[in-house]
Amino acid sequence: MNALQSTSIKYAEFVKLTMPDEVHTFCNAASPITVGGTTFQGMGSFLGISEIQRDIKASSFDLRIMLTGIDSNNIALILDSDLKGSTIEIWRGFLDDNNQIITSPTLQFFKRYQGIINNFAINEDFNESLRMRIATVVALCSSMRLVLQNRTSGMKTNSTQWQTFYPSDTSMNRVAVIASLYFDFGKPPVSGGQTTSTSDTTTTGTDESVFSETGNFNGGNGN
């Protein structure tokens, strides 16, 4: 990293908040900084980011982003926005003496985090010097790894949902029947489509299928 060769290292955190209808970019520098055509508004100490956990392999952890100094009159705008589920991206950029991103020999701008806003909270305090209420928005972010870990995907193996995607496929039509049968694996097969177990549970099915001794699936009606 070329930025670390300087005797005085200056850096800033850059945040991009992507919402369904709009995109916000800001950083904790004292003035706006433009990187790759994108201008990040300087918020200085009004922007706080909790420590980003660094592991050798990908891990799931929560990140907090604090935005303070918000006028209480703008609280309604925050509550009406689609903040939950918005994508959050964070970069760290190293600055030169003019408080701009170092570009030589390479761009010193590195992505550190990507996730979504899972929840947020609004706190209000009364500032005695300004004689007004100041709001602080705390956004709780979840990493994309945690999002994928908690994601439920796939398809149910019942005939109704299966034929929604494959109308001509009847391979799942007998799933409901088979699911209600009891198979006593290892016990000699019983002819006539009736299976019994050594326990108190007995399930009958005249036209249902049973397993033969060879492991083949044979119809109880002799077919």
How many CB atoms are closer than 10 A to CB 195? 21
**Between 7 and 174, whose confidence is greater?**
174
Buried b (16+ CB within 10 A) or exposed e, 82-98: eeeebbbebbbbbbeee
Band (52; pLDDT cuts 50, 70, 90): confident
Look-up of token digits 């589920």: 85
- Show the tokens assigned to 106: 């390479």
* pLDDT score for 60: 66
Report CA-CA distances (Å) from 2 to 95, 97, 104, 186. 11, 14, 8, 69
CA distance 145 to 168: 37
pLDDT tens digits, one per residue of 87-143? 999 999 988 888 888 888 888 899 888 888 888 888 888 877 777 788 888 988 887
pLDDT of residue 5: 60
Confidence at residue 133, expressed as pLDDT on a 0 to 100 scale: 80
Q: pLDDT band for position 221 (50/70/90)? A: very low
